[in-house]
Amino acid sequence: EVHLVESGGGLVQPGGSLRLSCAASGFIVSANYMSWVRQAPGKGLEWVSVMYRGGSTYYADSVKGRFTISRDNSKNTLYLQMNSLRAEDTAVYYCARDTGANWGQGTLVTVSS
Amino acid sequence: SYELTQPSSVSVSPGQTARITCSGELLAKNFARWFQQKAGQAPILVIFEDTERPSGIPERFSGSKSGTTFTLTISGAQVEDEADYYCHSEADNNLGVFGGGTRLTVL
């Protein structure tokens, strides 16, 4: 059975950094394309980033240059390194597999002083 | 930038057919999908590759596309279908795009 479990969220000050993790089970992360999607409180879904099987990565304009998606094949885990965080990055962050057939439960990131 | 436009809300009575549209130029060239999200829960994929339904999704959910408009149809909507629905596709530059979401009310 496929499971995705995000972790690493929390409260951080503006300008700070966080690294989110998405631990996968039931499938191989590197054999799929994996995405990060976020949802600000009371708002809609926003696509953040994707990593394809071959390692290509793409980012939304709103996070480009500040966020980095990566994976550790030995741990079957996807990551999102978030730097220079802003108040508008406050959201629940989800990881998703492929076309979105599987999602994690999300982890809340709050950027506030 | 690429955009997908959805109505903010749709309302139907139980047993009626609900139709939610999603429009955008990128839909003419790329597959699209629909996600259902209930309050406090992660999204669930209900339609992928325009018309395909994942296993476990009721047959009353169907997808269709004509040109730049993608439609989710729920035939005989049930109270438990009340949720937010989001369309999603990819732009030519490999960036993902979500529609703004549609709140479906069934009452």
Query: Beta partners for A46?
Result: A38
Task: Quote the mean pLDDT of chain A.
Answer: 97
- Model confidence over A37-74: pLDDT tens digits? 999 999 999 999 999 999 999 999 999 999 999 999 99
Choose the mutation target among A47, A62, A98 for the interface with B, i.e. most B CBs under 10 Å: A47
- Model confidence over B62-98: pLDDT tens digits? 999 999 999 999 999 999 999 999 999 998 888 999 9
Residue B1 has pLDDT above 70, yes or no: no
Rounded to whole angstroms, the Cα distance separating A94 from A104 reads 6
Specify the residue for token string 């741990």.
A75
The encoded tokens of residue A76 equal: 């079957």
Contact residues, chain B, for A61 at CB < 8 Å: 1, 95
Of A44, A47, A99, the CB nearest to B45: A99
Of A47, A58, A106, the CB nearest to B42: A106
Give the count of Cβ contacts less than 8 A between chain A and B. Answer: 56
Q: How far is B81 from chain A (nearest CA, A)?
A: 18
Rounded to whole angstroms, the Cα distance separating A6 from A23 reads 6
Rounded to whole angstroms, the Cα distance separating A78 from A75 reads 9
Output the DSSP codes for B24-61: -GGGGTS-EEEEEE-TTS--EEEEBTTTB--TTS-TTE
| Predicted pLDDT at A86 | 98
Cβ proximity of A78 and A71 under 8 Å: yes
**DSSP strand pairing (A10-12 vs A107-111):** parallel
